[in-house]
Amino acid sequence: MRKQFVKTENYSRFTAGIQAVEQRGAAEAGMMLVHGAPGFGKSHIVGHWAAESGAVFLRANVDWTPKYCLVELAKAMRVDPSGTAQQLFSRLLERVVETQTPLVIDEAEFTLHQNAAALEKIRDLSDRAEVTVVLIGMERIQQSIARHRQLSSRIAQVCEFTPSTMADVAQACRQLSEVVMSPELVAEVHRLSGGRMREVLNVIAAVERLARLNGLDSMDVADLEGVALSFDWQSRTARTVRKAGGR
């Protein structure tokens, strides 16, 4: 499989949201919330943006405290992580103001423990340095943050990641697959994946593997009828390719 970045509709909505945050009127409203079900490409897309923009990308842990959060951020920004939380915050604020580095917090649910104490530290950095902060979470994180008025009032944009469209999957197959897929097979990739880009990649890899085993450089539905290319973990059943023209 080729190593390329696919610009999906979720990517387009995310970058439009980022642009809106960066052009905001209220300097302190510098947060963007990205949420959605697992497998829709949140971390991958935001991580790609972070790499391109020079943002710091952190993944929160279940045991994050305000100090733990600051220490992890200091390590990522090559700031001395020693001393008290107050001393560490001061050093970090100086560095963030100087560099204007955007911050990304993945698994942001873990910042909401202890009355969102860890996220309050991130919010304080964002307020004072006037930098963009992207929070990535699951479907219900928006409701959880809404309970904290001081935090929710700082969120300038919300981007919900949704299932990949047929056009997204077709683009992924064109860019990533080293095997030519017929339009009918691409439609099956979309159906089998349920629009989850993570699963799209798994199905593409399975198609490529079968093509190599059979010495083929192109594949159609007829080549894979009845073959399991995906697995539904909820129902614990294999997802197989339908017959050509089947329902």
Question: Pairing between strand 133-137 and 103-106?
Answer: parallel
pTM of the predicted protein model: 0.91
> 59: which 2 tokens?
């993944």
Cα 156–161–164 angle (5° rounding)?
Answer: 150
Buried-exposed string 112-135: b where 16+ CB fall within 10 A, e elsewhere? beeebebbbbbbebbbebebbbbb
Is there a contact between 57 and 104 (Cβ–Cβ < 8 Å)? yes
**pLDDT (tens place) for every residue of the chain, 247 residues total:** 999 999 999 999 999 999 999 888 777 778 999 999 999 999 999 999 999 999 999 999 999 999 999 999 999 999 999 999 999 999 999 999 999 999 999 999 999 999 999 999 999 999 999 999 999 999 899 999 999 988 999 999 999 999 999 999 999 999 999 999 999 999 999 999 999 999 999 999 999 999 999 999 999 999 999 999 987 766 677 889 987 665 5
* Helix 113-129 / helix 85-99 crossing angle, nearest 10 deg: 40
Q: Domains of the chain, with CATH numbers?
A: 9-160 (3.40.50.300), 166-240 (1.10.8)
Cα 16–19–20 angle (5° rounding)?
Answer: 90
